[in-house]
Chain A
Amino acid sequence: MKQHPLCTDCEPPVTPLELPVPRAVKQEWAALETRRRFLGRSGKVLGWAALAGLFGDMGLRIYAEGADAKSPSPALNNALGLPHFAPKAKRAIYLFMSGGPPQMDLFDYKPNLAAQFNEDMPDSIRGNQQLTGMTSGQAHFPVAPSHWPFGQHGQTGTWVSSLLPYSARMVDDLTIIKTTNTDAINHEPAIMLMNTGNMNAGKPCLGAWLAYGLGSMNDNLPTFIVLQTKTNPKENNQPVSSRLWSSGFLSSEFAGVGLRSGADPVLYLADPAGVDHDVRRKMLDTVEEINRQTLAEVGDPETNARISQYEMAFRMQSSVPELIDLSKEPPSTWDLYGPEAKQPGTFAYNCLLARRMAERGVRFTQIYKRGWDVHDNVVGMLPVLCQETDHGAYALVTDLKRRGLLDDTLVIWAGEFGRTVYSQGGLSRDNYGRDHHPRCFTTWMAGGGVRPGITYGETDEYSYNVVKDPVHVRDFNATILHCLGIDHSKFSYKFQGLDQKLTTPVPANVVLGLLA
């Protein structure tokens, strides 16, 4: 939450009012100034730099000892000099569609399949692929064409399923990737690979890498925030875990902070009943006074760090409630996001929060939406899933664009894999199921750094194999880093003797065709 000492891409200290935001919105914030008056308590709230000024460079020591080549993180930070080049995007919002959306029912239009209804997919298409335990015993692999009609939209004439009427409206802003592919065929390894670049536990996720590399743009909010969408019990809600937003071998301060719907948006944020801000302030003043005595007596620089972290905690106690207070959102917001956005925990609500975080300088926001694991009853469940997510995603991109934020915000929409064209279980004219499919799936990006209005890559007529321009998870991540000004091949952290990267072990490539 502190200004990252090596953050070079923003002028310290940036305030939300300096962000490129329309005047009306700024006025709205100005009205909130009174509630944030404590932020200006000079003499009490010491910035990092001020602390350093008061206490020599002790306050900065833990970061400034980069000169010591033996100390891994500072030395690396120095060597990193991040960002490596001028970034197109300063922040990113990742809409994670956990479970694996079926690409051929949403974006990957395969009109010829209708004629092959219930015919076995040729063995040559599948080759020697190991299937999941769910369909490996199936004697037949009958083709299940999409149940829904597709239409062409936008200037670009991009084909989109009728399930996604809102997304269809913004295709000209999207960079659609049909050829994303992964190594894992089951959820746990696939979701780990997508989020951390590795199928096994213990590695940092994309957000943690960004927090580590780029630092914070806001003194009062976490650098990396994770939002969970309320689950719909009808859906097949594969689990997620804090492993997906963990910092792995990076310092745990870079882990994602969960922002929750409910009384305590950040865990333990609220003061206990009977403790108001005034009491808290007094309590902190006493603690600080005594800690300063300890510092003078013992001389441990860590004491300094503790004093400032308590102050930051105090600031968060106000900045986070301000962040989630939607009462001042203008009517146009609700017109855009729909009434669902007023209910905490819905996808639309989370999208709205993501926009507010982007405005306030949160570096990376990840929204998890579970339920896409449609092994059966695709016809019953997919409309529900689309209805839950289509509107919010559209509103977010449109809202960012409207406010001038889309230029330097990268929005990403992806699951951990795609689904099979063949039906899992029974196939009828009315319904079908789809198993996990790693060889190709559709994702999209929008905003800072990527080329709008294109569809990248081609799949075969069964949406089973990539025929042109594959984008492996590693390439996908390398491209995201690129948009944020990071050369993935140089962005590493020494751990267990190795230069660990998000994009190892096989060399990854930035997908130039996706870039603006």
Chain B
Amino acid sequence: MTFSSLLAALVLSTLTGCSRAPAHRLDFNQDVQPILASRCFSCHGPDPEMRKANLRLDLAEWAMRKRPNHPDAIVPGHPEKSALVKRIESKDPHFLMPQAARGEAKPLSAGEIAILKEWIREGAVYRPHWAFEVPRRPNVPMLQNAAAWTKTPIDNFILAKLQEVGLRPSPEAEKTALIRRVTLDLTGLLPTPDEVTRFLEDRSPDAYEHVVDGLLERPTFGEQRARYWLDYARYADTYGLHYDNSRDIWPYRDYVIRSFNDNKPFDQFAMEQIAGDLLPMKNLDPLIGSGYERLGVSSNEGGTITEELRVNIARERTEAFGATFMGLTVGCAVCHDHKFDPTTQHDFYSLSAFFNNIDEKPFNEDRPVWAPVLRIPKTENQDAYNRVIAQRSDLQGKLNEMRGNSHELVTRWLTSRNNPPRAVETNGLVLRLRLDEGSGEELRNSAPDANPASFHTTTLKGEWGETTWLWPDFRMQSSTRVLLGQMGDYDANQAFSSGGWFMFRSAPYHPASFGTLVSRMDSTQHDRGWELSAEDGFLSVALVNQMPKEEGQRETKKSKEKGKSEKKVEAKEPFNYPSPQDLSKKDLASNKPPEQKKAEEEAAKKDKAEAKAKAKKSSTKEPPKDTTPTIGLRVVSVTPLPLDGAWKHIFLTYDGSGRASGIKIFVNGNAIATRVVSDNLGKATIRTPAPMQLGWRNPEEHPAKDARYQDVRLYARCLNADEVARLPFEDYTAEVSTHLPSQWTPDQWHVVSEFYLNHVDPSYQAIQSKIAFLDKDLDRLSKGGDLTQVSWEKPSLAYANVLTRGVYTARTERVEADTPHFLPPLPSGESHNRLALAKWTVSSANPLTARVTVNRMWYELFGTGIVETTEDFGIMGQRPTHPELLDWLAVEFRDSGWNIKHMYKLMVMSGVYRQSAKSNPEQLAKDPKNLLLSHGPRFRMDAEMLRDIALQASGLLVENIGGPSAKPYQPPNIWEEVSYPTSDTVRYVQEHGDALYRRSMYTYVKRMASPPNMDTLDAPMRDVVCTRRQRTDTPLQALVTMNDVQWVEAARALAQLVIREAGPDTQKRINRMSEILLAHDAPAPTEAALAASVRQMKEHYAKDPKAARSLVEIGEKKRDASIPQSELAAWTMVASEMLNLDETMNK
């Protein structure tokens, strides 16, 4: 067999990959790389762990590199000298390549060997992977005799390929088939018989274009496009794990519909979803769109480890971003460098860092609103609201600009020597635990003349670097102890000050109850000593001689009660708009249908009664009271700290007066209001031999569970208020600014910039207060509005840690947010945040976004993408069947201003789209999957479309756009059977009326029990991004479309409709039904079959009126009583037959 006949055979047998005519030079991407990738890369590819013999075949420089003691793998131009060729051709099974661990690897086929040899003979030229090169617009192939068939440049590409393999395109479909196809594709619904008639009667040459233009303007166009996009974006109505509670994010769904209907340019659409919170805003759409980031599954499982959850969320978003916008399986690099693609682990975690910086708790608290949440103003307030949001956006833009320039501003400030940062005098500083060691068990004391100079953690070492504040942090694990020995050995007549930066652990079901922060107190000696602690957010300082057991707790509980009765003022953190803090219960309930609310209220009442009964039962005798009298000082803050998991600088000063009035508590440098609980120390001592401790009271009491610490200090003097005010940032800024800025770390730049902007630069602060003022307006104008989850960037640096094998505790290198190394870099000088990522995604240098997107459009219309693996454009993904066409479309898309409607129009106007779907044996033999498109697309419609057309055909469909998700018919116990008993989605409360007949895209999606009729028909669970649905054919599907009440009711309604519209004549009725569902009259044999069925069914139901009655009463819509029951029942069955026809179910 000659080489060219080998190649030709290959072309015919696969029709996808190696479709080059042998006369052409080989194309590395099309012909060679797929063989190397699938047969060689797993041992000789990018993953260093798996690499054998130090040979790497995915990069030219590696493949040609000399390796000691190895013959040259590839000698360009000389296959006979190349070891690679010898190995793949060898007859010796031990020498033959490829090899696999168990020796079951298949040898290369003769065709594959021929290609590799030819490629080496031609010079072994490597090309970058096709999808990573920026697409350029290729020339449209010039063809002879093409004019009759080609209608758009698309067709030239298709026809050229068909001619190459000797297939002919099919003629244009009949007009009826065409209007049905294009209407279904563009709107997800059927053309009405009137529309069909109008089209048939319109003999003008642009009749079809008129239809297309009309369809593109329908609101149902946006719905149909959104239906696909919601798969790409993994939209659902619940969180998807554990309780699987409801979430408020349906406004995102409506935003998507709106965006498609407004023909929003795709670049803007993409940017809003990736970073809408960072874009300038004229209305709320960008912010609503940013909900995309937060659509993934999330958990609030009771035992969840916060750090694990945080890592999982960033990972989920990264994988989703990769799938939605890049068409890459980046998730493969979670544990190791990608085995085939150049995505390294470093790339993965750098990319994940972009998504690691959203201002949210890692757990969703099982509330429908998981902050950050936006409240959307009601329609009547929208204009006023938008005016304010535009102003706010302008101001925010100025702030962002200043942040962007902060390096310059800071440098100018420091060189001006105007208002320089002032350090706090170090006199009296005896202990300073910076806790910036980053690893290990030794904690340095960086006070001047420190003695001792360091301390050891005991029992269990702390966790380092999980989050960053001034620097990567330190967390005490549940059994970490930091014993500080004889530090803090003061009596009540000595002044001292202590505190530092703290972040309290906040975890599901464990509302931070806090505990001891710093302490030298002995619980075995009636709590003698001193301590700074917190209880449910109430800060407390105690200097104690003796105290009865439980006193501390009782006191704080009392103050908590008191705190509640006072008006609770929770300081809003900066950068926290939109904030969920002020949502009332009513707000939270606003999205639920009244039936559900009622059911829930009743359930809640029952639970309450049960709890009460239980409490009554379990109430036991109180333990005997400890009669130890209280001797000591104790002050407690009047208001609690918000339990928001943010870093707080907490500090105490004591003047040595022996009086409670000598104690002050500061938060973030400001003195807070306190209340005196005890003031009767007198002359009694507070000295104790127990050691000073971080996070615990001696010996092992009252821990601040898993709290994080930075820069903890102890001064043997009473700091004044001005000094304490400088402690949180200014002191450290002063320290950093003694070094040259060129030596600063990014973290130091960040801290100094934050200090400069928030405390030094008056203009920045002025803008902030203006924004705070506008936020009040926004709050007011959005009262009572719907809620939706959005993204909101934290001001901190976006970073992540590379995790060994993806294990959340195995943190290694700390990486900055960045794009994968093998794709174009971010422009220099830009902040590495989601905004930069968003711009990068749609930049003209990005090779993937446009290709991936047009490919999905193609998939939606033709059933298969030009790249069949719509989810994978990487090296292991399928090669495009028409690479030039894909690039042409991608460039056209970009050059059109990312015009979505333009692209759909272009595709549906093409000759290839308009072909008849009929296939012949030659086509089936040569191209069974119709990848080359020698005939028009024909495939089973998606679940939602099948249900929608059944509702539409029967006149039941309610076409309202948007709003809270609907709960139509569902078999009993679908939710109950699997849900957590206290989940807010444990009971499915079916709605009535219009909700039963809305388009299926509005059906409520509970991730852990998705709507079963949709699920059976391959609707994805929306757990992960789905860019390509399965299209199976199972008996369970037949059961749905025959027996689901939704379809049975639709059949009955369709029967009523034709009986009313077509009069008594059977033939007319059948034809009407056919027109409605199939857009054409029933052909004679079909009509005969149906007419026979009508007779049979009539006969049957005439004999059994009871059965007839049962059948026609199915469904909540009242039947037409004027039609005799047996007649209606018979026609209901005939309508059901029609709804179940293969032709009906295919587009």
Listed in ascending order, the chain A residues whose CB lies under 8 Å from chain B are 1, 58, 61, 65, 67-71, 79, 123, 128, 130-134, 136-139, 185-188, 200-202, 228, 231, 233, 237-243, 246, 251-253, 257-258, 260, 262, 264, 266-276, 278-280, 282-283, 286-287, 289-291, 293-295, 297-303, 305-307, 309-310, 312-313, 315-317, 435-436, 489-490, 496-498, 505
Contact = CB atoms under 8 A, between A and B. Distances in A.
Contact of B1114 (A272, A291, A294): A272
- 6 smallest CB-CB distances across A and B, nearest first, come from A497-B876, A132-B303, A274-B1111, A241-B1008, A274-B1110, A313-B1035
Interface stretch (B161-169, B959-967, B1129-1137): B1129-1137
A481 to B, nearest CB: 15
A183 to B, nearest CB: 8
Interface residues of B, number: 133
A137 B1110 contact: no
Nearest to A79: B106
Contacts, number: 299
Contact of B978 (A241, A286, A295, A309): A241
Contact of A496 (B332, B703, B1008, B1085): B332
Contact of B877 (A137, A315, A497): A497
B1036 A267 contact: yes
B1140 interface: yes
**Which of A79, A274, A282, A305: most chain B CB closer than 10 A?**
A274
Contact of A186 (B304, B341, B929): B304
Interface string B3-34: 00000000001111100000000000000000
A91 to B, nearest CB: 20
Interface string B290-305: 0000000101011111
Contacts of B1112: 274
Contacts of B303: 132-134, 185-187, 435-436
Contacts of B1114: 272-274
Contacts of B240: 201
A505 B507 contact: no
A102 to B, nearest CB: 15
Interface stretch (B128-136, B385-393, B666-674, B1039-1047): B1039-1047
B478 A316 contact: no
A310 B1140 contact: yes
Interface in B869-897: 869, 871-872, 874-878
Given A262-B973, A294-B1142, A252 B1032 contact: yes
Nearest to B1133: A283
Given A136-B478, A274-B1112, A497-B341, 10 more contacts: A67-B13, A185-B303, A186-B301, A270-B1043, A279-B1107, A299-B921, A305-B1033, A309-B1033, A317-B1039, A497-B877
Interface string B912-933: 0000011111001000110000
B938 A294 contact: no
Contacts of A272: 1043, 1045, 1048, 1110-1111, 1114
Contact of B700 (A139, A262, A270): A139
A274 B1109 contact: yes
A243 B1021 contact: yes
Contact of A313 (B928, B972, B1030, B1039): B1039
Contact of A65 (B510, B928, B1044, B1143): B928
B818 interface: no
Contact of B972 (A68, A242, A262, A312): A262
Nearest to B929: A71
B973 A137 contact: no
Contacts of B977: 228, 258, 260
Interface string B559-595: 0000000000000000000000000000000000000
Interface in B804-857: 809
A58 B929 CA distance: 13
B1021 A246 contact: yes
17 contacts: A68-B928, A187-B303, A267-B1040, A268-B1012, A268-B1043, A271-B1042, A272-B1045, A273-B1107, A274-B1107, A274-B1111, A275-B1133, A283-B1097, A283-B1133, A286-B1089, A293-B1085, A310-B1035, A497-B874
Contact of A239 (B983, B1016, B1021): B983
B1090 interface: yes
A472 to B, nearest CB: 14
Nearest to A231: B981
Nearest to B334: A200
Given A268-B1036, A299-B924, A305-B1033, A283 B1093 contact: yes
B760 to A, nearest CB: 40
A299 B918 contact: yes
Given A270-B1043, A271-B1043, A239 B979 contact: yes
A168 B1009 CA distance: 37
A287 B332 contact: no
B980 interface: yes
Interface string B1119-1144: 00000000001000110110011110
Contacts of B743: none
Interface in B1064-1098: 1083, 1085-1086, 1089-1090, 1092-1093, 1096-1097
Given A243-B1023, A274-B1109, A268 B1039 contact: yes
Contacts of B106: 79
A7 B1012 CA distance: 29
A307 B312 CA distance: 45
B402 interface: no
Contact of B919 (A186, A299, A312): A299
Interface in B310-352: 312, 316, 329, 332, 335, 339-341
B1097 A132 contact: no
Nearest to A295: B1142
A120 B109 CA distance: 65
Contact of A266 (B701, B928, B1039): B1039
B536 to A, nearest CB: 14
A58 B306 CA distance: 55
Interface in B460-512: 460-461, 477-479, 507-510
**Which of A132, A202, A275, A307: most chain B CB closer than 10 A?**
A275
A48 B1023 CA distance: 34
A35 B701 CA distance: 72
Contacts of B1129: 274
Contact of A70 (B14, B305, B316, B980): B14
Contact of A202 (B508, B1012, B1023): B1023
Given A302-B940, A313-B1035, A268 B305 contact: no
B877 A253 contact: no
Contact of B305 (A130, A233, A252, A287): A130
Nearest to B340: A497
Contacts of B17: 70
**Which of B316, B508, B1137: most chain A CB closer than 10 A?**
B1137
Interface string B1022-1033: 011000001011
A430 to B, nearest CB: 13
Given A228-B977, A306-B1033, A241 B706 contact: no
Contacts of B920: 299
B244 A133 contact: no
A128 B1141 contact: no
B606 to A, nearest CB: 11
B705 A137 contact: yes
Nearest to B243: A239
Contacts of B1008: 239-243
A48 to B, nearest CB: 13
Nearest to B1114: A272
Nearest to B234: A201
A133 B508 contact: yes
Contacts of A309: 1033-1035, 1037-1038
B508 A268 contact: no
